[in-house]
Structure formats: C-alpha cells, structure tokens
Amino acid sequence: MRPYSSLTMLGLLAFAAGVAAVEPTFGHVDGYSYDSITQNLIVQGWVCQRNNPNPIDVHIYAGGPYPAGTFVSYASPANASPNLGESFPGCGGDARRFNIAITPTMRAQYQGQTLYAYAFPAGSNAPMLDGSGLLRVPHRISAAIGDGVTDDTDTINGEIALGGVTYLPPGKTYLVTDRCMVTGCESPSFPSNGNRDRRVLLISNPGASPAPVEVIVDGTLFLARHTNSGSTGIEPAVTRQIGVIQVAHNSKNVTISGRGTIDGNAVNQKECCIGGVVLGGPALAPYSSGIDNVTVSGLTIRNTYNWPVTVDGANNVTLRDLKIYGGGNSVQFAHGTTNAHAYNLHIEDIHDIGFSFYNNVSYSSLENSVVLDASGAAIGVLADTVIPADTNQPVSHHITISGNETHRSRAGVDTLNANTVSGLNLYFSNITISNNKAYASLTHNYGINSCVGCSVSGNYSEGSGTGGKDITQIGRYVSGLYLSESQNVTISGNTFANEGQGENAYGYGAIVYTQANGNNIATSNITFSGNKFVDLQSTGTMVDRVAQAPPTPLVYTVSNSTDCGVLAAPNTCTNVP
C-alpha cells in the first residue's frame, strides 16, 4: 500500500466527514483603468474559488513570476461585486473582482516591467492568474487631450518616440490624422520617386536588439476624415500605405495592446491605402520590411477603409484576441511575412477575404478564430502578384489553418491562385486545413486550388449554397469541398452535411475539377479517406458525394449513394456512409 502524507490523510478524513474538497482557484488579469485625480493605474481582474465564502487575496509581482519577480502590491480581500451581465468562464456566481493600485511612485520604480498576479486563498497553492505576463507598467501616461475634437497626433507621436510604454487611458477619444514625414510631401503633384510619404501614429524601434516599445490603447483612436496616405493607388513607386498605428521598417520588439478601439472612420475616407494597424511599408509591394518580434493584442479595430491589420514582409509576429468589425480589405499576413501567427480573432463584415495569407507567406497560422460575413472567402491563402522569381515556386507554404469557424461568406476556407498569366505554374505547398467548422458559404465551404502536398482533415462543412445562386460557379453546383489544379492532396476525416442550399443549387460533398486551365497544374493523386457525407433533410439537397467537374446532376440523394462519383486514376476515394 502506498504511504500517504499527513496532508493527504487530512484530505481523506475531510471526505469521510462529508466536507467538500478544496476547489481550485483561478481567475484573469483583464487590464488597466486609470484614475486621473490620483494618477494611479488600477490593475483589474477577477478571481474565483467555487464554494469558498472566505476572502481571496491577489498579489502582484513585477519583472517575472514568483519567486523571481518583485512583490509590488495586493488586494486583500478581492471581494468587489462583478458588474451586471459579466461572464466568468468556469466560475459563475463565485467570482470576485479585484482592483490593485499602482501609484506614480510604483510606476517610476517598475516602469517597463511585466506584471504577474497570484491568488492566495486559504488552502490554495497560490496559482498564477491567466493574463499574467501581458501587462507592462507604462513609462508615461499620455498627455493627449482626448476630447475627440483636438488633434492629438503630434502629442501621441512625441510620446511614442520617447520609447518604453505609452498608455492611452480609457474613456477618451483621441483624434488623429496624417502627418508629412519627408521633404516634398506637401507638393501639389505626386513625385515620381514616391516621396509623398505620410503617417498617422508611427512606432520606430530599430537596432540589433532594442529595448521593447509598447503602446497600450485603452481609449479610442479615431482617424480624422479625409486622411491622406500620399498614394496614387496605381503605380508601385507611389502606392503608399499608412495605418492609424504603423510600425516602421526595421523595427523590433514592439507591442500594440490594450482594451481600447481603433476606429478608421471609413465612411469619411477616400484615399488609398489606409489601415488600422500596419506592420511594414511605406511602399505597398513584396519586400522585406526588416520588422521582427511584434505583438498586437486585445484591441477592437473597426471601420477601416482598407486593412484592419496588415503584416508586410515581417518576421515573428503574433496577433491575439482582436475583435475586428468592418474593413475594405483583408486582415492579412502578406508580402514575404514568415513565422506569423494569429489566435482568437473575431472578424466580421470584411468587404474582401476575411483573413488572408497573401503572396509569399510561410510558416504561419490562423487558429481558433471566427470569421463572419466576408465578401470573399472567410479565410484564404491567396496569390495574385507575380514577380519573376515566383515562377515554378510555391508562392506560399507551410501554412496552418486550424480550429476556426466561418459563417455566411462567399467561401469558407480557400487556397486560391488568382493570377491568370499562362505558364507560370504557381502553386501553394504544405497547407494544412484541420479541425475547422464552415457553415453556409455561397459557393463552397472548403476550396483547394493550386495546392501541392496539402491536407484537409477533420473539418466540418454544412449548408453550402446558402444565400442564393452564384452564376460564376460551374453549373451553379455548390459543394462542401471544391478542388482543382492540385496534386498530392489528402482529404480525410471530414464531414460534409446538407450541402446544396440556396436557389437553383445542386449540392455535392466534394467536386474535383481534373484539368488545368492553362496557368497551373493538372489535378492528380487526390486521396479521399474516412470522410462522412450526410443529408438528413426531409427533402435532400445533396445529389452526390464526390463528383468530377463539370458534374451532371443525379437523381438520387447522398443517403442512397454508394460510390465516389467519377475520379480518374491515380485518385482514390473511400466514403463512410
């Protein structure tokens, strides 16, 4: 028999006596608030221990986790009542809010250091709270007016240029607009060398290994009407891009964070090319921007004339916990970006592809995100720009799209080569599309085009065709999956359900288009295995499981189908009833 410690024995006796076991303690560090009278920063969050009526202390450490970090302050007890309607995952009614003041003296002592929070209830081993390690103590609180009328651009730019951490407090609207950055910017005509260079808020942090720079936006950045990027939008030499916040060439170790909002005021803009957060530039073209180690997190970004977020030619980038509403162009990793990863994004109402891996992106991913109501694909791997070095090369490779959910877009998850120049043989490689859920796309929920060595596995598809007929789709047939001009692709373990919704649509589990159209490769070696095809509607809309395009509608529904349709060797198909 294994010996027990005295603490374990006490626990066993407690169970024997009918006493409830000590529940785990958990919680979250939400962010800052600011008291303009005391100039205290308030670390806010919540903590929970179910079935515990006793006080819970929360301790804050700076510069590292306990015990390496330095103790700063504590809330004792954390007992503030939650706000009405707040949700605390896994906790419910036992949540207590905490507020811990960081005074001006503490700010001066710990500026730039990261904060970690721990809970200390009775019987606890002082667990670290979620969200620890994300907040850094600001070097300065912005002196910008923030009344929504005063132009705060120069004030905020001056503070950012000082380095460290600049904090824009909540409850204020900071009006910002474009500023001329180079000689000749104000000339009446666009100079041929592209020097008409303008910015709004600019973060520049060059060097081999510069000290971190961060802008924490808890208020609202509101872009002034008719902001001018200095771009013709036509010729590459003068196609400039700006963001409400822009990270300059060769910048490193930058964080843009907070619980605030970037509002692009799109209805009052008329110039190309304006985004919310832009990592790269100023020229809008394939290039290496030299940008490395950047994180954008926590913000709401809305109403952008062009891209809500664009990452161009950068390395080692993280997007996390962003809420994005409305945009003229994609949220995107683009133009040679590598090692870029996006997690837990909510993207809605984009008048383009919702999230795009655009032109020569590698070793990058989008995971655990939701995309709704995009005019193009909800999520796309896209190439439509050709440079000579691209010929016979994978234009993007090693991309992971996993755990996402899409609704009501033109397509769900797509790889799409939109270049029409003959003979270039452009393709994507090693694209992994796994464990996603796609619903109600207009044409297809998953599209594989120009893909070599790609995998589509463990995904769920339902209700393609919702929204009516689309005359650009071959024969008006819609599908869970549409595949063309691809080689060595595995389609496995997916479920295709109730495809073929909408007006005049015939639904297929998958359509395989087997011939090249002149600028890409012939389809071959497509392996289907372990897929499920389901139509449980009283009047079925799926006419076949897998068909070669252009398909001929059959008279029976998928519930009566026993074959894989027409697939030429060396393709294989294994259906699951």
**In whole angstroms, what is the distance from residue 320 CA to residue 341 CA?**
8
* Phi and psi at residue 302, to the nearest 5°: -140, 155
DSSP character at residue 80 = B
Burial 147-184 (b: 16+ CB within 10 A, else e): eeeeebbebbbebbeebbbbbbbbebbbbbbbbebeee
Cα torsion 267, 269, 275, 276: sign:
negative
Among 314-328, 369-383, 425-439, 557-571, name the one with the lowest average pLDDT: 557-571
Classify residue 304 as left (phi > 0), alpha (psi -120 to 50) or beta.
beta
Cis preceding linkage at 273, omega within 30: yes
Residue 10: predicted pLDDT: 33
- CA distances for 110 relative to 99, 140, 164, 170, 401, angstroms: 18, 12, 12, 21, 39
To 10 degrees, the CA torsion angle through 356, 272, 441, 457?
0
* Tens-place pLDDT, residues 38-72: 999 999 998 888 777 677 889 999 999 988 999 99
On average, the pLDDT of the chain sits at 82
Confidence of residue 152 (pLDDT cuts 50, 70, 90): very high
* Tens-place pLDDT, residues 293-319: 999 999 999 999 999 999 999 999 999
Residue 17: predicted pLDDT: 42
Q: Which one, of 205, 203, 149, 143, lies nearest residue 177 by Cα?
A: 149
Classify residue 229 as left (phi > 0), alpha (psi -120 to 50) or beta.
alpha
- Report the Cα 246 to chain-centroid distance in Å: 17
Who contacts 241 (Cβ-Cβ below 8 Å, separation ≥6)? 229, 231, 273, 274, 275, 278, 280, 281, 282, 283, 284, 306, 310, 312
Indicate if the pLDDT at residue 529 is higher than 70: yes
Mean pLDDT of 106-116: 95
- CA distances for 111 relative to 39, 108, 346, angstroms: 14, 5, 32
Residue 186: predicted pLDDT: 62
Strands of 209-260 (E only): list them: 213-217, 220-223, 242-247, 252-257
End-to-end CA distance of the chain: 51
